[in-house]
Structures are given as structure tokens and as C-alpha cells.
């Protein structure tokens, strides 16, 4: 067939295809149930107690009801849902509820903000230094680069293609690249590393690939060697399997520039490693390196392009903490014809283990048996050998002699053994497609990311893979271990690393994100709220202390208000007869509230139509509200009131704000004089209000605001 002729793999269609929306809505994690704690950015922590219909001038509206200390109630309009977030601190700890109207919350918020600002300042300063430094600007892709990419036997997944574009674009810029590529186990991050390394070799520079384990160094050496065998580059590796003499030889070649790509463990950070001309530094599984190693890395990479690959995904929300120093690419789509790994938690049972092993070997596969105690490996081997006398079994661990370990692993790759009993030395990045069952003994002693990584060692081809976690009876385990094992059982879909990382956060509590000092805050204000405060702080810093650096960015989003609240007496809600379930309604409200662009809104509208039938007028108004809110932010209004057919627009509340000297404000005044006869300005206290008569419904409001916005943007 053509696949054999062109050495390409056949592309299967998986029955239950992986849908993007399923992967990323952390909806399951975020769904609010009555009784959950929530944090409101202006009022603090309270208890969510359902949606409630409210009568506004004889028309129905829906609001979220939050209870505060001493039975105070707060009703939050559905158009300001983005101000609420679910409280997530450490699981099982009960937060202090705030009292409405007291200043405790605002003090806490300011205190957090101040602390966060100190940290954020350092991050941004680091970022500023990097941006200011001159790195090496790589040339555009050569024909060899194109050829390398074309010779990839799989088809690039969309995310992979995008990540590799991003990386190459960063390399072509004069400032040094610092990109983090986050993708689940087995989603093709190595290929991106190969392309980046090759690109730098094309420009006559060297690439260094840093990996955490000895086996992985060897494995990458083989992968890189295979991919680049038809190209004029030399690849070599350093690990402790090599004799001192061989290492010296390698270092010498490296300094003379005879080796283009070097792959190695921590040894690469040693004193005697000199590069002739290092172009790009690639770090695989950065979370496995210790602090001192990372310090050395920092020295290496001030003006070298650096690319970090990690599979234990950093929850999207933490991306922000990297925002100061990193660009992020996420690979979410699994390669075609991958199947989810079936995960089961069982107790230690000889018959079951025998059946599992035989099931796998009879379909021609091999088995990993993970037992994380070096001392007990030999006994474990004889135990398994006793269960399956006719199979060949080997064991491997990190304290074996180099050659012996290497031979064992290679023989296992060559299918000389059926079962490999080993410590978690195989954890990161070992790629043996023929192994499709992994048994983890004493799984309760591993952390979540370790288990997720181990599970990622199987299911790397198109066969169904199995992962068995052996642990004592669940009832005897401590609650944290129990939750960990359940999490893995629950999220066994492809690309579920994200959800796992989020759960990890919930189970352990979000510790110190950026340093030791502020872990206490998260417990008091909840994790998402912490993110929001962090974002605000970063924004203020960009506006004030680092104006020059972010001039471009500020010009694009020079907004004077960050949010507009809209209050109306119209019937704006999702009616009960349209969507019955309360949790579903709430989730729709918050998704609508978070739609960023017009495309998002249209897609969401389409989805509603598909799921629930023709969209009623109240819901159409809801969409209009979101559109109006976006426009009002651009125009600089803090609040819009629409009551009794009169619209009141409140300008920025701070009378000394630069907004009143801005082009936008002048344009609005001009519009009121020439473009419309409906509006007039009023002064109430210190604040200016724009009052517009005869606005009966949302459509008219939308028409008026968009006309005004058009005028403001027209000549600018």
C-alpha cells in the first residue's frame, strides 16, 4: 500500500473522537453547587445558594444569591458573573466568611495586592532584561528545514503545528526566546525539539538538550539520530554510561564545534563543558530538575534561545505566574488513532496479576511492572516468575552498573523480555510503543504527576492500553491518597493532564506560587480570586512602572475602565422553559459572560440553538448585554443604568483620571453635539453622567452605543 511505500502510518478514525471543548472546559471542576463557597471580588467570601428570580419594575430577572456572615444576602446580576469565582483553597478547609459592608475584605485584598506587586515587579523586571538583551536572530527556514518537517512520518496535529511555528518565529526574533511547551504525555513534544535544534544547526550553531534521566538521554539520542540521519548534523550524548575517556573526547569535540547537537543529563551543566557557539538550549521535563541545576541554567540561558518542554501540565491559571518570564504553547490534541488508557485501582491479588500479564503477552505486547523499592526488586522478580513460569522477566533500577542497565533496557526494547520489573526510572519520556500494560505496585505512595507520567508510558501506539494501580484497600488509605487514585481513574481521557493538574491543586492546596511568603493568602481568598488580583497588579505595573517596555501593548488596550456593570429593568435571563436545570443555566451564564470575541458569541449562539431550540428574545437580549458591555469598556463607562426607558452612563469615577483629557472623551462630547440629539450631560456630585432618553430595549441601547463607538473610532 502507499503507507508501506512512503513509510507513513495509516491514519485511523477513533470512534469516540476527542473534542476540543470537552478537554478544556474545566466545567466539571468549576460547576457550582448550592452550598459551595464563592469569592466576590468586591465583597469577599460567601456561600452560593442558587439562582433566584427577582422582580424589577414588574419584569423578571435572574440573579445569583450569595449568603454572607450573619445571614446577609447579596444578589449578583447575571451580567456581572465574572466577578464571582468558586473558592478553591486546600480541600476540606473551611474559609472564613466575610461580612457585607465591613472593610476586612478590602484590607485583605489591598494587602495581597501589595505583596503580589512586589513579586510581579521582579517577574516583569526579569522579562524586561530578557527583552532588552540581544540574542541571535535565526534566519528564515531553509529547504533542509522544510525537508525535515516533511519527513515526519505522522501528520502534525494542529496544536503541534502551531507550537512549532511559534518556536521558529521566536527564534527568528533578535531577543532571546524563552518558551514553555506544555503538552500531555506522548503528544509529540520531542518532534518540536528536533525541529528547533535542527534550525539552530542550519545557522551554524549548536543545540543542547538537557534531560533528567540517563535512560531518557539515550532514548532522545536515538530519536534525534533517527530523525536527522539523512541530514549533515552530528548528534552525541553524555550520560554516566560513558567512560571518562569517552566523555573527555566528547567535550573536546563540543568545544571545537564538531558536535552539532548534544544530549545529556546534569553533566551538561558541569564546569568542563564548553560550547563553541550555543544557539538553543532545550530542557525536557524541567520540573524534575533541582534548584541548583536551575540556577546554573539561568546563567547559561541569559542570551541563548531556550525551549522548555513539560508534560505535567501547569494549569492554565498558573500560566500567568509564568507570564512575567515565559511564552506558553499548549498542545492539547492527541495524535490521531490514540485510544484513552483504561485505568483501574485494584488490591494486590496474585490471580489478577497473572491474568493481566498473560492477557498482554498473548496479544504480543510487553508489560511494565513498577515496584519503587530497589531492595525488593529481585524478590518481586522471583514472585512474578513464579506466577508466570514461561515468560522471560528482567529487572532494572538506577543503581545498576551503567552497561547492565543499558543492555537490559535495550533488550527489552528488542522484545527479548516480556516483563520488565523496575523502579520509576522509566517515568519520564521512555518511549517503547510495544508496551501496553503497566502495573504500579503501592500506587498510593506516588504523587499525582508521577502516576500520570507512568501511565503515559503505555498506549503510545494504536492499541488499547491498560494501567493498573495496585494499592491497599481504599478504605484504609489517607484521604489525600484516596483522592489521588480516584482522580486518575476519573480522568483517563487523552489530554486529561490538565484536569489532573487542576485536581492536584485542589487536593494539595495551592502552595506558594511564586515564593515562600504568600501561601497564606490563597487560603483566605481562594485561588481564582488570587489570580484575578494578580492580573490586576500586573496590569497596574505595566501602566505605571514599566510604561516604556509595554508601550506597544498599552497602546492596543488603552482602557481606562477594566469593567462595566450594566443594570436594567428589562427581562433579561434564560427562561425556565428554555433551560430547566439550574446548574446548567448558571454554567451557560458564566460561559456567555466569558465570551471574548464576536466569533465566540456567534458560536455560543449556534450551540444554544442546537441544544435547546430557537433562542427566545430574553436570551437574545442577554447576548446584546455582553456586546454592549465590551463596547462600554472601550468608551470608558463604569456603569450603565437602563430604567424606565432612560439610559444613564456613568463616566470614570475618578475626576482626575487621564481619561478626561483623552481623545476618546473629546470624541464622545463631539458625538453628543453633532451625532445625536438624544443625550445630555449632567454633573452629579463629582461624577459626570450622560443621560439618554427614549431607549426602550436592549436593541436600541446597542444601536446607540455602537453609533457612539463608531464615531469615536472613525478618524482615530
Same domain flag for 583 and 614 = yes
CB 384 within 8 A of CB 356: no
pLDDT at 127: 65
pLDDT at 332: 73
517: phi then psi, degrees, rounded to nearest 5: -85, -20
**How many residues can be counted in the chain?**
716
Decide which of 493, 519, 543 is a domain's last residue: 493
Tell me, letter by letter, the H, E, C secondary structure of 412-464: HHCCCCCEEEECHHHCCCCCCCCEEEEEECCHHHCCHHHHHHHHCCCCCCCCC
Q: What is the residue whose three cell numbers read 563543558? A: 273
Same domain flag for 108 and 142 = no
pLDDT at 130: 67
CB 528 within 8 A of CB 94: no
pLDDT at 480: 77
Same domain flag for 612 and 686 = yes
- Tell me how far apart the alpha carbons of residues 618 and 575 are, in angstroms, rounded to a whole number: 8
Task: Select from 34, 37, 26 the least CA-distant residue to 525.
Answer: 37
- Tell me how far apart the alpha carbons of residues 65 and 59 are, in angstroms, rounded to a whole number: 18
- Decide if 123 is inside a domain: no
Same domain flag for 441 and 551 = no
Same domain flag for 573 and 618 = yes
Tell me the CATH number at 181.
Answer: 3.40.50.300
Q: Which residues of the chain have pLDDT under 50?
A: 10-29, 314-325, 511-519, 556
Tell me, letter by letter, the H, E, C secondary structure of 46-102: EEEEEEEEEEECCEEEEEEEEECHHHCEEEEEHHHHHHEEECCCCCCCCCCCCCCCC
CB neighbours (10 Å) of residue 239? 22
Instruction: Write out the residue range of the structural domain in which residue 251 sits.
Output: 133-331
CA 146 to chain centre: 29
Residue partners of 406: CB distance under 8 A and separation at least 6: 218, 241
- Decide if 502 is inside a domain: no
- Decide if 662 is inside a domain: yes
Same domain flag for 182 and 285 = yes
Same domain flag for 590 and 707 = yes
- Decide if 455 is inside a domain: yes
Same domain flag for 66 and 161 = no
DSSP string, 608-665: HHHHHSSPPHHHHHHHHHHHHHHHHHHHTEEEEEEETTEEEEEE-S-TT-GGGGSHHH
Sheet holding 44-56, edge to edge: 73-77, 59-67, 44-56, 37-40, 84-86
- Decide if 508 is inside a domain: no
Same domain flag for 185 and 244 = yes
**pLDDT tens, position by position, 498-548:** 566 666 655 555 544 444 444 455 556 666 666 677 667 766 766 666 666
CA atoms within 13 A on the CB side of 250: 22
Task: Select from 419, 416, 409 the least CA-distant residue to 361.
Answer: 419
Kindly list the distances between the CA atom of residue 679 and the CA atoms of 500, 567, 676, 692, 701, in Å, as whole numbers in the listed order.
Answer: 53, 18, 7, 4, 12
CA 204 to chain centre: 34
Q: Give me the sign of the Cα torsion angle 615, 616, 617, 620.
A: negative
- Tell me how far apart the alpha carbons of residues 1 and 117 are, in angstroms, rounded to a whole number: 62
Grid cell digits, residue 663: 481623545
Number of domains in the chain: 4
- Residue 208's H or E segment, with its range, is strand 206-210
CA 673 to chain centre: 48
Grid cell digits, residue 543: 501602566
Q: Give me the sign of the Cα torsion angle 24, 29, 32, 33.
A: positive
- Tell me how far apart the alpha carbons of residues 90 and 86 are, in angstroms, rounded to a whole number: 13
Same domain flag for 193 and 169 = yes
Grid cell digits, residue 459: 498506549
- Decide if 7 is inside a domain: no
Residue partners of 686: CB distance under 8 A and separation at least 6: 653, 655
Decide which of 493, 517, 541 is a domain's last residue: 493
Contacts 24+ apart (CB under 8 A), 477-481: 477/444, 479/92, 480/507, 480/508, 481/444
- Tell me how far apart the alpha carbons of residues 577 and 571 are, in angstroms, rounded to a whole number: 14
Same domain flag for 82 and 161 = no
pLDDT at 106: 80
- Decide if 95 is inside a domain: yes
Residue partners of 333: CB distance under 8 A and separation at least 6: 18, 20, 157, 158, 159, 160, 187, 495
**pTM of this prediction?**
0.63
Same domain flag for 421 and 349 = yes
- Tell me how far apart the alpha carbons of residues 242 and 221 are, in angstroms, rounded to a whole number: 14
- Decide if 15 is inside a domain: no
The mean pLDDT value of the chain amounts to: 77
Residue partners of 348: CB distance under 8 A and separation at least 6: 441, 470, 472
Decide which of 331, 350, 372 is a domain's last residue: 331
Tell me the CATH number at 78.
Answer: 2.40.10.170
- Tell me how far apart the alpha carbons of residues 550 and 543 are, in angstroms, rounded to a whole number: 8
Amino acid at each position: 500500500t502507499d503507507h508501506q511505500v512512503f513509510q507513513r502510518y495509516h491514519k485511523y478514525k477513533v470512534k469516540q473522537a476527542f473534542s476540543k471543548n470537552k478537554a478544556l472546559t474545566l466545567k466539571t471542576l468549576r460547576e457550582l453547587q448550592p452550598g459551595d463557597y464563592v469569592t466576590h471580588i468586591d465583597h469577599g467570601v460567601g456561600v452560593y445558594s442558587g439562582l433566584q428570580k427577582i422582580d424589577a419594575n414588574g419584569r423578571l430577572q435572574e440573579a445569583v444569591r450569595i449568603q454572607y456572615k450573619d445571614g446577609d444576602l447579596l444578589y449578583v446580576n447575571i451580567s456581572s458573573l465574572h466577578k464571582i469565582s468558586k473558592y478553591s483553597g486546600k480541600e476540606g478547609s473551611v474559609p472564613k466568611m466575610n461580612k457585607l459592608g465591613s472593610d476586612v475584605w478590602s484590607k485583605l485584598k489591598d494587602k495581597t495586592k501589595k505583596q503580589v506587586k512586589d513579586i510581579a515587579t521582579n517577574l516583569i523586571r526579569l522579562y524586561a532584561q530578557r527583552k532588552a538583551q540581544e540574542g541571535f536572530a535565526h534566519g528564515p527556514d531553509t529547504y533542509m528545514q522544510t525537508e525535515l518537517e516533511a519527513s515526519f512520518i505522522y501528520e502534525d496535529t494542529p496544536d503541534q503545528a502551531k507550537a512549532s511555528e511559534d518556536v521558529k518565529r521566536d527564534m527568528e526574533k533578535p531577543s532571546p526566546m524563552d518558551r514553555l511547551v506544555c503538552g500531555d504525555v506522548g503528544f509529540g513534544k520531542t518532534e518540536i525539539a528536533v525541529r528547533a535544534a535542527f534550525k539552530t544547526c542550519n545557522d551554524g550553531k549548536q543545540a543542547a538538550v538537557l534531560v533528567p534521566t540517563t535512560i531518557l538521554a539515550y532514548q532522545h539520542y536515538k530519536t534525534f539520530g533517527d530523525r536527522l540521519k539523512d541530514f549533515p548534523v552530528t548528534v552525541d550524548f553524555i550520560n554516566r554510561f560513558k567512560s571518562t575517556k569517552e566523555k573527555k573526547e566528547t567535550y573536546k569535540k563540543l568545544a571545537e564545534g564538531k558536535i552539532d547537537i548534544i544530549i545529556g543529563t546534569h553533566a551538561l551543566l558541569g564546569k568542563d563543558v564548553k560550547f563553541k557557539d550555543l544557539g538553543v538550549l532545550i530542557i525536557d521535563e524541567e520540573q524534575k530538575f533541582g534548584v541548583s541545576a536551575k540556577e546554573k541554567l539561568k546563567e547559561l540561558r541569559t542570551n541563548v534561545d531556550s525551549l522548555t518542554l513539560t508534560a505535567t501540565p501547569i494549569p492554565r491559571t498558573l500560566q500567568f505566574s509564568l507570564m512575567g518570564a515565559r511564552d506558553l504553547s499548549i498542545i492539547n490534541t492527541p495524535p490521531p488513532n490514540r485510544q484513552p488508557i483504561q485505568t483501574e485501582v485494584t488490591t494486590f491479588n496474585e490471580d489478577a496479576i497473572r491474568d493481566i500479564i498473560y492477557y498482554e503477552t498473548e496479544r504480543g505486547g510487553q508489560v511494565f511492572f513498577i515496584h519503587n523499592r530497589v531492595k525488593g526488586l529481585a524478590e518481586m522478580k522471583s514472585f512474578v516468575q513464579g506466577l508466570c513460569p514461561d515468560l522471560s522477566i528482567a529487572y532494572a533500577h538506577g543503581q545498576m552498573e551503567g552497561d547492565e542497565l543499558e543492555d537490559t533496557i535495550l533488550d527489552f526494547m528488542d522484545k527479548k523480555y516480556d516483563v520488565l520489573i523496575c523502579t520509576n526510572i522509566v517515568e519520564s519520556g521512555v518511549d517503547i510503543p510495544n508496551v501496553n500494560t503497566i502495573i504500579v505496585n503501592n500506587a498510593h505512595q506516588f504523587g499525582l504527576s508521577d502516576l500520570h507520567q507512568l501511565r503515559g508510558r503505555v498506549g503510545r501506539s494504536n492499541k488499547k492500553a491498560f494501567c493498573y494501580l495496585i494499592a491497599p484497600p481504599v478504605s484504609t488509605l489517607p484521604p489525600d491518597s484516596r483522592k489521588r487514585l480516584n482522580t486518575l481513574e476519573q480522568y483517563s481521557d487523552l489530554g486529561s493532564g490538565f484536569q489532573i493538574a487542576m485536581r492536584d491543586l485542589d487536593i494539595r492546596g495551592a502552595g506558594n506560587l511564586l515564593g515562600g511568603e504568600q501561601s497564606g493568602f490563597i487560603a483566605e481568598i481562594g485561588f481564582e480570586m488570587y489570580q484575578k488580583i494578580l492580573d490586576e497588579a500586573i496590569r497596574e505595573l505595566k501602566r505605571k512602572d514599566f510604561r516604556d517596555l509595554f508601550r506597544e501593548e498599552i497602546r492596543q488596550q488603552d482602557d481606562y475602565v477594566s469593567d462595566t456593570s450594566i443594570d436594567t429593568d428589562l427581562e433579561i435571563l434564560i427562561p425556565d422553559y428554555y433551560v430547566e436545570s439550574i446548574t446548567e443555566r448558571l454554567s451557560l451564564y458564566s460561559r456567555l459572560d466569558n465570551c471574548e470575541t464576536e466569533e465566540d458569541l456567534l458560536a455560543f449562539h449556534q450551540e444554544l440553538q442546537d441544544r435547546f431550540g430557537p433562542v427566545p428574545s430574553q436570551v437574545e437580549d442577554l447576548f446584546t448585554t455582553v456586546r454592549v458591555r465590551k463596547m462600554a469598556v472601550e468608551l470608558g463607562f463604569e456603569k450603565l443604568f437602563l430604567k424606565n426607558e432612560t439610559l444613564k452612563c456613568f463616566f470614570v469615577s475618578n475626576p482626575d483620571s487621564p481619561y478626561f483629557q483623552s481623545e476618546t472623551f473629546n470624541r464622545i462630547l463631539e458625538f453628543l453635539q453633532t451625532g445625536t440629539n438624544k443625550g445630555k450631560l449632567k454633573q452629579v456630585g463629582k461624577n459626570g453622567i450622560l443621560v439618554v432618553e427614549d431607549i426602550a430595549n436592549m436593541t436600541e441601547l446597542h444601536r446607540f452605543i455602537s453609533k457612539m463607538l463608531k464615531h469615536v473610532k472613525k478618524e482615530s
